[in-house]
Structure 1
């Protein structure tokens, strides 16, 4: 485990040796995510909703319609945000010791609104760059009406914890002679073949971020 938990609620209790609290590890996991899950309370109900996300500096950003339930509620109460990547299936000799290799981050705090027009434009351009580097210079930026109707929210990464498993099988010694395959099946999220609009077949294909390229 690297560094100390920034708060009691971020301290990893189950298998704490897998925990990481340093900024670089948290940022690297966030930077390879397209979607996060946000858990929050609304009245007597607990909700968990997925939404697109990206990072700029020490903050996670999301966006949505100004009148959406998610964006309204997140400005008034604390929430938790989860990002998880599955990197492999760990197939053991015993059913009990099957596992997964993964990278995950949980972030706690309260979102704040990005209201300044230029800051909002910069944040949304960073979102486009997160999806396709270089693309924000090629496409039309949001107009005033689009900006006015879009909420951009920011959550600092000050209260975050990462948890990682990235190794092989952990079978008991008594199971090592069982005649069955054991090992890791790597899993990767990669981009498929691009499908161009009919009027766009002659244009260069967009660039992709490293986390969507086959390695």
Structure 2
């Protein structure tokens, strides 16, 4: 797949911290593929609403899902402008001054018009992507959605063409005066996310072990 570099629009141009802006679309994909939850923002009855939700990506399309009863998804799927954000925190930056404390992070902000996915095959494809993004291996292991469940589920497609990416990495950015005069510790406290040991449902029959796609993820 050809990756067209991010071309900033008036909405996606990074104005604060311009040196942290990244135009490489591969970095956008990497951030989205590494996150688990996105925040979908839209306007309902004149007020902003932010919905945290799982998602999945297929090329330049991001899919989100939820209940058909959710007003936020019905509104977003009606063809209004939405904004989607994913942020990964990699560490806390301790500086010699509180003012210069910061975070190392990777963030992506997408602007688009959401499109409701209604075709049953397309909806199943999107739900498989969402499922496999959060819980790899589950689509072919567990029961897939039936007709009733598909009817109760809304799926939105969000184009990734218009997006802004920012990345902050490295140590403190202290003022020279503070470096010369201040003896306090400065540096980075990295943040690592790891999976714990699988906790079986109490209703599982005896002898049902965690499948390989769960165990392998725990030790990865």
TM value normalised by structure 2: 0.88
> Does the 8 Å contact 1:135/1:206 carry over to 2?
no
Counterpart in the other structure of 2:47? 45
Counterpart in the other structure of 1:161? 164
1:181 aligns with 2:179: no
Counterpart in the other structure of 1:204? 210
Shift of 1:187: 0.7
Stretches of structure 2 that go unaligned for 5 or more consecutive residues are none
- In structure 2, relative to structure 1, the CA distance for the partners of 1:62 and 1:4 (3 Å cut) is closer
Stretches of structure 1 that go unaligned for 5 or more consecutive residues are none
CA distances 1:40-81 after superposition (whole Å, capped 9, x unpaired): 111221212212222111111100112310111102310111
Take 1:208 and 1:136, find their aligned partners in 2: how far apart are those partners?
12
User: What is the DSSP-based 3-state SS (H/G/I as helix, E as strand, rest coil) of the residue aligned with 1:176?
Assistant: helix
Shift of 1:202: 3.2
1:144 aligns with 2:147: yes
TM value normalised by structure 1: 0.90
| Alignment match of 2:89 (pick from 78, 86, 92) | 86
Take 1:120 and 1:45, find their aligned partners in 2: how far apart are those partners?
29
Shift of 1:22: 2.6
Shift of 1:208: 5.4
